[in-house]
Amino acid sequence: MSRALLLVGSPKSRKSASRAIGDALISRLAARGWGTLAERIPTRFDVDLTALFDGIADAELVVLSFPVYVDTLPAPVTRFLQEWSERGPRREGQRLVVLTQCGFPEAAHCASSIEVCRNFAREVGVTWTGALAFGMGPSVGEAGIEHSPIARALPSLDVAADALAAGEAVPDAVAAAFARPTFPAWLYVAVGGLSWRLQARQQRADAPLRYRRYAQEVRS
């Protein structure tokens, strides 16, 4: 039986878009006869990653799913890739596919993350099988993927699963379907502002949202 391992690089334990899209993909692989397993990448930097590498050694396909932080991979995911390259398993013919999302409407913000993962794959000798990137990630985690802005792209996830199960890369058309913004940017800007204010009220923010915690010395 072919095996796929989903590695979730979100620090959120629940309502994680990374987990939701990852589960959606590996459930489709399971429906095609694959054995699947999901693991979270530890967010504590003192946690040993050996157990994670044991799982990778058994997988023909590694599905790496993570949010974009400050234009690239979150630190725990970066640490994981660094340790994989230094001491992780090498398996002949192992493949990597990346699922990534950001908090902006445009998937273009994910481009650097994808390039980093592609560079990693080349360096460690893992076969690169593409990436799916999309915007508005937090809304996927909150609403559930079936009711999220990327629900419209889910049918194309079957096409991606077919390709991956056949040992092929994710088709460009699938990546394009995920990358297409659901809403125009101006609407996202307007609705986003209201959403942040609502969240601040729900969380009983201890200061105005525009509050400046730190002093800036006036210099000529």
Partner 1 sequence: MRVVLLDGSLAGDAAGARVVDEMFRALRDGGHDVERLVARQLDVRACAGCFGCWTKHPGECVIDDDARRVAAKVIDADVYAVVGPVRFGTYDWRTKRVMDRMIGLLLPFFTMIRGEVHHVQRYPRHPALVAIGTVERHEAATDRTFETLVERNAINLHAPAHSVSVIAAEDDAAGAVRAALDAIGVRTGVAA
Contact residues for partner 1 (CB under 8 A)? 10-12, 43-45, 67, 69-76, 78-79, 81-82, 85, 104-106, 108-109, 111-112, 115-120, 122-123, 185-186, 188-189, 192-193, 196, 199-200, 202-217, 219
Closer Cβ to partner 1, 172 or 220, answer by number? 220
Q: Residue 138 Cβ, how far from partner 1 at the closest point, in Å? A: 8
End-to-end CA distance of the chain: 68
Q: Locate 20 and state its tokens.
A: 């939701």
**Which residues are CB-neighbours of 87 under 8 A, at least 6 positions away?**
53
Q: Residue 196 Cβ, how far from partner 1 at the closest point, in Å? A: 4
**Which residues are CB-neighbours of 35 under 8 A, at least 6 positions away?**
1, 2, 3, 4
Quickly count: other Cβ atoms within 10 Å of residue 90's Cβ.
Answer: 11
HSE, side-chain direction, 13 A CA sphere, residue 10: 23
Closer Cβ to partner 1, 73 or 153, answer by number? 73
Q: Residue 55 Cβ, how far from partner 1 at the closest point, in Å? A: 20
Closer Cβ to partner 1, 1 or 194, answer by number? 194
In sequence order, the β-bridge partners of residue 29 are none
Length of the chain: 220
Closer Cβ to partner 1, 106 or 158, answer by number? 106
Closer Cβ to partner 1, 1 or 204, answer by number? 204
Question: Do the Cβ atoms of 169 and 33 come closer than 8 Å?
Answer: no
Strands annotated E in 68-190: 95-101, 127-134
Q: Residue 171 Cβ, how far from partner 1 at the closest point, in Å? A: 23
Closer Cβ to partner 1, 92 or 211, answer by number? 211
Instruction: Give CA–CA dist 134/102, Å, rounded.
Output: 7
Q: Residue 94 Cβ, how far from partner 1 at the closest point, in Å? A: 17
3-state SS class at 80: helix
Q: Residue 27 Cβ, how far from partner 1 at the closest point, in Å? A: 23
Instruction: Give CA–CA dist 128/94, Å, rounded.
Output: 9
